[in-house]
């Protein structure tokens, strides 16, 4: 191959590569005004109307076994969610004091009869310098229906 042919092949490869990149970007919609390609954002009222329409369609056509009970939509659905709720309460107890806690995953449980999560944790709160830590047991009960703590008790070990 002569030097002129090598230069010609190099230029052809360069042009072909750049042309494929430009065409890919063009057909992906990266060139031109985006306002013509995208609809304007929906208002809160329009979004609420769409949600209500979807809920009405689901209520009309969804089989009974797939419908969620309205009272269960805001329920705590797992023990870990209940632990997050209790962790927030633990972090707000004695603000400004160093503390650490660890959940007892074995003892914590959900009671189906009462629809309550019973969460247990070990809490250590820093005492004055050189005095060590206060160790406590924490009992936190979370109502699954309204996501509220109904019993929060910290007792010294």
Structural domain boundaries, residue 142: 74-156
Task: Give the chain's domain count.
Answer: 2
**Residue 47 sits in the same domain as residue 111:** no
Q: Which of 66, 82, 99 is the last residue of a domain?
A: 66
**Residue 80 sits in the same domain as residue 138:** yes
In the numeric block, the tokens 């009970």 are attached to: 69
**Residue 112 sits in the same domain as residue 151:** yes
**Residue 80 sits in the same domain as residue 143:** yes
Closest CA to 100 of 128, 138, 145, 129: 138
H helices of 28-143, in order, are 44-61, 79-92
- pTM reported for the whole predicted model: 0.51
Give bridge partners of residue 154 from the DSSP assignment. Answer: 138
**Residue 79 sits in the same domain as residue 151:** yes
| Tens digits of residue pLDDT in 82-135 | 999 999 998 887 777 778 889 998 999 998 889 899 999 998 888 776 677 888
């Amino acid at each position: 191959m002569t030097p002129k042919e090598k230069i010609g092949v190099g230029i052809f490869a360069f042009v072909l590569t750049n042309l494929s990149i430009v065409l890919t970007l063009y057909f992906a919609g990266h060139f031109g005004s985006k306002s013509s390609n995208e609809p304007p954002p929906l208002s809160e009222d329009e979004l609420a109307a769409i949600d209500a329409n979807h809920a009405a369609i689901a209520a009309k056509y969804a089989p009974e076994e797939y419908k969620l009970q309205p009272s269960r939509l805001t329920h705590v659905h797992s023990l870990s969610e209940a632990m997050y709720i209790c962790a927030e309460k633990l972090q707000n107890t004695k603000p400004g004091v160093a503390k650490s806690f660890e959940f007892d995953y074995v003892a914590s449980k959900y009671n189906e009869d009462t629809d309550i999560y019973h969460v247990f944790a070990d809490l250590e709160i820093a005492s004055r310098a050189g005095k060590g830590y206060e160790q406590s047991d924490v009992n936190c009960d979370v109502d699954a229906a309204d996501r509220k703590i109904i019993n929060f008790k910290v007792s010294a070990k």
